[in-house]
Amino acid sequence: MKRKKIREKGKLRLSRIFQKLEKGDKVAVVREISVKAGFPERLQGRSGVIEGRRGKAYIIKIIEGKQEKKFIIEPIHLKKLKE
């Protein structure tokens, strides 16, 4: 995903920035392009489970291959999945 759709350009959804997620919630990693961050592209589209919180960011446990890895990601890049 390299561009935003024309109707979404310039928008930052405040509800995504201030969303509250609980430990154990399943989330998908969806990169917000308008936020400049050192975001690894290999995480785009992956899903994982929230393990905790560190500051304003969340610790996400993602299974890569056969290993569990933990990433610290800001809430604007997370989308809660329905169970």
Q: What is the CA radius of gyration of the chain?
A: 13
Handedness of CA 73, 8, 42, 80 (dihedral sign): positive
Task: Report pTM.
Answer: 0.84
**If we measure between CA atoms, which residue out of 32, 75, 37, 69 comes closest to residue 53?**
75
Sketch out the chain's domains with CATH numbers.
6-80 (2.30.30.70)
Which H/E stretch holds residue 5? none
Would you write out the chain's pLDDT as a tens digit for each of its 83 residues? 578 888 888 778 888 889 999 999 999 998 888 887 667 778 888 999 999 999 999 999 999 889 999 999 999 999 999 87
